[in-house]
Amino acid sequence: MKKTLSIPTISCGHCLMSIKRELGFVDGVDYIDGNVDAKTVLIEYSNDAALDQARAVLAEAGYAPTN
């Protein structure tokens, strides 16, 4: 499954690197890519629990998705 998350607090490539690092620890998240200009992150995940955990991890790291 794929989901593009809108993350308004992304401001630079370093933010994106931090997001990729944090999501890399979430079981079930298989792929992460992002676009700083669009302030989005695309994730591929294996189940809904992984998506929920990814959202929680992002919020805790200061990158709460708006969708």
Return the CATH number at 31.
Answer: 3.30.70.100
Q: Would you say residue 49 lies in a domain?
A: yes
Q: What confidence tens digit (pLDDT) does each residue in 44-66 have?
A: 999 999 999 999 999 999 999 99
Query: What percentage of the chain reaches a pLDDT higher than 90?
Result: 100
Q: Would you say residue 67 lies in a domain?
A: no
- Provide the strand spans (E) within the chain: 2-6, 29-35, 40-45
pLDDT of residue 63: 97
pLDDT of residue 11: 95
Q: Would you say residue 66 lies in a domain?
A: no
Q: What confidence tens digit (pLDDT) does each residue in 11-43 have?
A: 999 999 999 999 999 999 999 999 999 999 999
Stated pTM of the model: 0.93
Give the number of domains in the chain.
Answer: 1
pLDDT of residue 29: 98
